[in-house]
Amino acid sequence: MTRFSRYALPLLVMAGAGTASVAQVAAPAAFKVPDGLPFAVSDQGQFDTPFALAFLPDGRILVTEKPGKLKLRATDGSVKNVAGVPTVAPGGQGGMLDVALAPDFAKSRTIYLSYSEPRPNGRSLALARATLKDGAVPGLEGLKVIFRAGSDGTGEQFGGNIAFSPDRKLLYLSAGERQRFTPSQDPDQAIGKILRLTLDGKPAPGNPNYAAGGARAETWSSGHRNPYGLSFDKQGRLWEIEMGPKGGDEVNLIQPGKNYGWPKASNGSNYDDTPIPDHAPGDGFEPPKIWWNPSISPGGLMIYSGKMFPAWQGSAFIAALSGQALIRVSLDGDKAAKADQWTMGMRIRDVAQAPDGAIWLLQDGRGNGGHLMRLTPR
């Protein structure tokens, strides 16, 4: 949605709503990727601890920076700060997280942001909605927090990934369990869950326990640790990538009402090496489709549908942080299989498909050390 062992841990500071800057083109910097990759990689600029990117219909790009900024990159490479962003509580895995365009963005200009919000007793995952205004000073208007996970206090693992249903009527939000273990199995807490909401941030009718109200009404699936990527395939299946503890990073097919086991089942171990029961038939939990030991530390997830790489249509692409790789997973119906793992020589935070079918990546790096990259066929 992370890490130098597994995590990058900048100091915890408060970041306020930003003001827009004049357009800037990032200064040239040394940039190198390993030889032998099956695609060409071009450097498209640098950002400070970027987390997620989203393409506007005209090819411009919104990029979130964890310290608390939202950037708008023009097609000529110039970058502006977007004014009016919410105040975030950055540090560790928190800060400004995902950005997504509303399904009717072309008409409404609405975007969604997830972030760790400062709260009276710590910080919590929040989801906000606003209108993106263009001009010499781009900004957000009408910003409104439409959902809070209600998980004030300490702990990392916010999740925060946003996806929209294929019919464009509902919103899915991943909520990490904040390193607290037991909330994943507590139906009355909205963390350690995949949540299914209306576009206004309310519980979605038709959820497995909608009639129960509260967090139960919001929950689509439970038993998650740190879910960082959500993406629908062409057939409407929802796929998720999730960080395990020490090993056990997962690709899951998300189904309503299913429990994915954390912290009672995992194919990894706790950081203190105390064992966790592996997923096993009959344990009552939904097992991952594939997993990794040792860890790859998955970041973003994208399911490719473009024409620039026709052989990879329908494949899932995973950004790997500690794995320093771009990973391709072959999807076949409800099955998944490891296909390619390309060493990139850097921590890859997010992966996205551009309108023209190119694949774009974000490097996890501080102080404008996070490169934005475009991948095209050789």
Per residue in 91-125, pLDDT (tens digit) is: 999 999 999 999 999 999 999 999 999 999 999 99
- The model's pTM is 0.92
CA dihedral 303, 109, 170, 331 (to 10 degrees): 0
Mean pLDDT across 34-59: 97
State yes or no: pLDDT of 236 exceeds 80. Answer: yes
Q: What is the pLDDT of residues 321-355, one digit of tens each?
A: 999 999 999 999 999 999 999 999 999 999 999 99
CB 215 within 8 A of CB 189: yes
Domains of the chain from N-terminus onward? 24-377 (2.120.10.30)
Q: Give the percent of the chain with pLDDT over 90.
A: 90
In the predicted model, what is the mean pLDDT of residues 267-296? 96
Query: Quick check: 372 pLDDT over 50?
Result: yes
Amino acid 31: pLDDT: 84
Tell me, what's the pLDDT at 303?
A: 98
Summary mean pLDDT of the chain: 93
Summarize the confidence of residues 279-301 as an average pLDDT: 97
